[in-house]
Amino acid sequence: MAEKATGGVERVRAALAERGLGCEVKELAASTRTAQEAAAAVGCDVAQIVKSLVFRGARSGRPVLALVSGASRASEARLAELAGEPVVRADPAFVRERTGFAIGGVAPLGHREPPMVFIDRQLLGFAVVWAAAGSPNAVFAVAPGELARVTGGAVAELVEPA
Protein backbone atom coordinates (compact mmCIF):
# COMPACT_ATOMS: atom_id res chain seq x y z
CA MET A 1 0.00 0.00 0.00
CA ALA A 2 1.42 3.37 -0.96
CA GLU A 3 2.09 5.64 1.96
CA LYS A 4 2.13 9.40 1.63
CA ALA A 5 5.71 10.59 1.14
CA THR A 6 5.41 12.80 4.20
CA GLY A 7 3.85 10.13 6.44
CA GLY A 8 7.17 8.88 7.81
CA VAL A 9 8.42 12.36 8.61
CA GLU A 10 5.22 13.22 10.46
CA ARG A 11 5.51 10.04 12.50
CA VAL A 12 9.07 10.97 13.50
CA ARG A 13 8.07 14.54 14.41
CA ALA A 14 5.23 13.19 16.58
CA ALA A 15 7.50 10.64 18.27
CA LEU A 16 10.13 13.30 19.05
CA ALA A 17 7.51 15.65 20.48
CA GLU A 18 5.90 12.85 22.51
CA ARG A 19 9.26 12.13 24.14
CA GLY A 20 9.88 15.78 24.93
CA LEU A 21 12.71 16.16 22.46
CA GLY A 22 12.54 19.65 21.03
CA CYS A 23 14.78 18.99 18.06
CA GLU A 24 13.90 20.21 14.64
CA VAL A 25 13.47 17.91 11.66
CA LYS A 26 15.28 19.35 8.65
CA GLU A 27 13.84 18.54 5.25
CA LEU A 28 16.56 19.21 2.72
CA ALA A 29 16.55 19.69 -1.02
CA ALA A 30 19.52 17.35 -1.28
CA SER A 31 19.31 13.59 -0.80
CA THR A 32 20.21 12.20 2.63
CA ARG A 33 19.55 8.62 1.50
CA THR A 34 23.02 7.35 2.43
CA ALA A 35 25.29 8.28 5.32
CA GLN A 36 27.71 9.95 2.85
CA GLU A 37 24.94 12.00 1.25
CA ALA A 38 23.53 12.98 4.64
CA ALA A 39 26.98 14.11 5.86
CA ALA A 40 27.49 16.21 2.74
CA ALA A 41 23.98 17.71 3.05
CA VAL A 42 24.34 18.79 6.69
CA GLY A 43 28.09 19.50 6.57
CA CYS A 44 29.25 17.06 9.21
CA ASP A 45 31.65 14.14 9.32
CA VAL A 46 30.17 10.85 8.05
CA ALA A 47 30.99 9.34 11.48
CA GLN A 48 28.40 11.69 13.02
CA ILE A 49 25.62 10.25 10.87
CA VAL A 50 23.54 7.61 12.64
CA LYS A 51 22.77 4.62 10.44
CA SER A 52 19.48 2.96 11.49
CA LEU A 53 20.00 -0.62 10.35
CA VAL A 54 17.13 -3.09 10.51
CA PHE A 55 17.72 -6.78 11.25
CA ARG A 56 15.26 -9.62 11.79
CA GLY A 57 15.46 -12.05 14.68
CA ALA A 58 15.93 -15.40 12.92
CA ARG A 59 13.78 -17.29 15.45
CA SER A 60 11.29 -14.69 16.69
CA GLY A 61 10.91 -12.69 13.48
CA ARG A 62 11.17 -9.55 15.63
CA PRO A 63 12.73 -6.40 14.22
CA VAL A 64 16.08 -5.49 15.74
CA LEU A 65 17.36 -1.96 15.16
CA ALA A 66 21.10 -1.23 15.28
CA LEU A 67 22.12 2.42 15.52
CA VAL A 68 25.72 2.75 14.38
CA SER A 69 28.04 5.47 13.15
CA GLY A 70 28.07 6.17 9.41
CA ALA A 71 31.76 5.24 9.46
CA SER A 72 31.19 1.80 10.99
CA ARG A 73 29.77 -1.58 10.15
CA ALA A 74 27.42 -3.39 12.54
CA SER A 75 28.49 -6.87 13.56
CA GLU A 76 25.75 -9.46 13.17
CA ALA A 77 27.57 -11.65 15.69
CA ARG A 78 27.51 -8.90 18.34
CA LEU A 79 23.84 -8.18 17.60
CA ALA A 80 22.99 -11.86 17.89
CA GLU A 81 24.64 -12.02 21.34
CA LEU A 82 22.68 -8.98 22.47
CA ALA A 83 19.36 -10.05 20.94
CA GLY A 84 19.69 -13.60 22.27
CA GLU A 85 19.10 -15.16 18.86
CA PRO A 86 20.72 -15.09 15.42
CA VAL A 87 19.86 -12.03 13.37
CA VAL A 88 19.76 -11.56 9.62
CA ARG A 89 19.69 -8.39 7.59
CA ALA A 90 16.10 -7.36 6.87
CA ASP A 91 15.00 -7.18 3.26
CA PRO A 92 13.34 -3.99 1.94
CA ALA A 93 9.79 -5.41 2.26
CA PHE A 94 10.35 -6.34 5.93
CA VAL A 95 11.81 -2.88 6.58
CA ARG A 96 8.83 -1.17 4.98
CA GLU A 97 6.21 -3.35 6.72
CA ARG A 98 7.60 -3.35 10.24
CA THR A 99 9.10 0.13 10.44
CA GLY A 100 6.77 2.03 8.12
CA PHE A 101 9.85 3.65 6.54
CA ALA A 102 11.59 2.91 3.27
CA ILE A 103 15.33 2.13 3.25
CA GLY A 104 17.25 5.39 3.15
CA GLY A 105 14.76 7.08 5.47
CA VAL A 106 14.57 4.65 8.40
CA ALA A 107 14.54 6.73 11.58
CA PRO A 108 15.72 5.61 15.02
CA LEU A 109 12.22 6.09 16.45
CA GLY A 110 8.60 6.32 15.37
CA HIS A 111 8.53 2.76 14.03
CA ARG A 112 5.22 1.11 13.28
CA GLU A 113 6.23 -1.88 15.42
CA PRO A 114 8.59 -1.16 18.33
CA PRO A 115 11.92 -2.90 17.60
CA MET A 116 14.55 -4.09 20.04
CA VAL A 117 17.07 -1.21 19.90
CA PHE A 118 20.85 -1.22 20.37
CA ILE A 119 23.13 1.81 20.07
CA ASP A 120 26.81 1.58 19.36
CA ARG A 121 28.94 3.13 22.10
CA GLN A 122 31.05 5.02 19.51
CA LEU A 123 28.14 7.37 18.90
CA LEU A 124 28.34 8.56 22.52
CA GLY A 125 31.71 10.13 21.74
CA PHE A 126 30.11 12.95 19.71
CA ALA A 127 28.40 16.05 21.09
CA VAL A 128 25.78 15.85 18.35
CA VAL A 129 24.81 13.22 15.79
CA TRP A 130 22.39 13.34 12.85
CA ALA A 131 19.80 10.67 12.15
CA ALA A 132 17.26 10.02 9.40
CA ALA A 133 13.81 11.45 10.07
CA GLY A 134 11.55 9.17 8.06
CA SER A 135 12.38 10.06 4.47
CA PRO A 136 15.46 10.07 2.22
CA ASN A 137 15.80 13.84 2.56
CA ALA A 138 14.93 14.48 6.20
CA VAL A 139 17.28 14.40 9.20
CA PHE A 140 17.42 15.65 12.78
CA ALA A 141 20.29 16.51 15.09
CA VAL A 142 20.38 15.07 18.59
CA ALA A 143 22.79 14.56 21.48
CA PRO A 144 23.59 10.83 21.52
CA GLY A 145 22.59 10.46 25.17
CA GLU A 146 19.18 11.84 24.26
CA LEU A 147 19.00 9.44 21.32
CA ALA A 148 19.54 6.56 23.76
CA ARG A 149 16.84 7.93 26.04
CA VAL A 150 14.18 8.49 23.39
CA THR A 151 14.74 5.18 21.61
CA GLY A 152 15.03 3.16 24.82
CA GLY A 153 18.09 1.63 23.19
CA ALA A 154 20.76 -0.28 25.07
CA VAL A 155 24.26 1.15 24.59
CA ALA A 156 26.73 -1.59 23.62
CA GLU A 157 29.67 -2.40 21.36
CA LEU A 158 27.98 -3.21 18.05
CA VAL A 159 30.73 -2.82 15.51
CA GLU A 160 33.27 -5.27 14.14
CA PRO A 161 36.54 -5.09 16.05
CA ALA A 162 39.12 -3.28 13.88
Cα 9-50-161 angle, rounded to 5 deg: 155
- Closer of 65 and 82 to ligand 5CA (Cβ): 65
Amino acid present at 48: Q
Q: From the list 49, 117, 119, 129, which residue makes contact with ligand 5CA (rule: CB under 6 A)?
A: 49
Question: Which residue from 59, 84, 89, 114 is in contact with ligand 5CA, where contact means CB under 6 A?
Answer: 89
Q: Examine residue 35 and tell whether it contacts ligand 5CA (CB under 6 A).
A: yes
Q: Identify which of residues 105 and 144 has a Cβ nearer to ligand 5CA in the complex.
A: 105
How is residue 71 annotated by DSSP?
T
3-state secondary structure at position 11:
helix
Give the shortest CB-140-to-ligand 5CA separation in angstroms: 10
Q: Which residues contact 150 (CB under 8 A, 6 or more apart)?
A: 15, 16, 19, 21, 108, 109, 142
Residue nearer to ligand 5CA on the CB measure, 83 or 99: 99
CA distance 20 to 43: 26
92 binds ligand 5CA (CB under 6 A): yes
How far is Cα 120 from Cα 74, in angstroms, rounded to an integer?
8
Kindly state whether residue 38 participates in binding ligand 5CA, applying the rule CB under 6 A: yes
Which spans of this chain sit near ligand 5CA (rule: CB under 6 A)?
Answer: 32-35, 38, 49-53, 89, 91-92, 103-106, 131-132
